[in-house]
Amino acid sequence: MLAKKLVTAQKRGETRALCLGLGMVACSMMMYFFIGITIVPFYTKSVWTTESVCKLLKANIKDKVLCPNSEGSEDEDIFPYPCLQVWVNLTASGQEVMLYQTEDTLERNPKCSYVPGKSENSKEVKARIETIASNFKKYQTFPCYYDPGGTQTNVILSRLYPPKGLLFAFLWPTLMFTGGCLIIVLVKISQYVSVLSAWQ
């Protein structure tokens, strides 16, 4: 009677462990799919792949401009903010080019180097832009990214999804997939050992 209860408990434990392993594998596959349709296209579409050094030429704050809304967005997404324009000398080519914060900044408003997030407090936005401008004037030389193919003549300060960020995004689903497969293999080994012991 006791042996039968032990066997039943063992089978239940193996079933739960097997479900856990399969669930982890399924979740990792969903995470791979999500990363593949969101982060990977932005990474492959970016042409600013080569790092260089930029030297500040001028950083001016223009009058307030309207943030143009993207396709499909509502009118309430348009808000005024001071326009920061940063011009730098790209040491790789010696050209005078405009600097943008990220790839997304150029798409949102090509006239400004920095586009703040939507904020109701215009004083905070103005103070943040003034701080950014003063930091550029303080640090005259800094790393930046440019397009080695020449399709984009401007440069960006930082990439939205650098190679390290892409690897980090794939790290968690890979660990989950490996853990799920390891659990499934251990359960199968346990079942095989149990059957072998019973046969002997």
The answer to whether residue 200 scores a pLDDT higher than 80 is no
Name the amino acid, one letter, at 116.
Answer: P
Q: Note the pLDDT tens digit of each residue in 171-189.
A: 999 999 999 999 999 888 8
157: Cβ–Cβ under 8 A, 6 or more apart, which residues? Answer: 99, 100, 101, 102, 142, 144, 145
Q: Which helix (H) or strand (E) holds 51?
A: strand 50-66
Q: Which amino acid is at 30?
A: M
Q: What is the pTM of this model?
A: 0.70
In whole angstroms, what is the distance from residue 37 CA to residue 51 CA? 26
Instruction: Determine the average pLDDT of the residues in 55-71.
Output: 72
* Residue 72, pLDDT score: 44
pLDDT recorded at residue 120:
60
In sequence order, the β-bridge partners of residue 89 are 55, 96
Between residues 123 and 34, which one has the greater pLDDT? 34
Residue recorded with tokens 């293999």: 185
**pLDDT reading at 77 higher than 70:** no
Domain ranges within the chain, ordered by starting residue: 13-46+164-199, 50-160
First-to-final CA distance of the chain: 21
Provide mean pLDDT across the span 146-164: 88
Give ∠ CA 140-143-148 in degrees, rounded to 5: 125
> Does the structure show a pLDDT above 80 at 149?
yes
Closest CA to 142 of 51, 44, 81, 72: 51
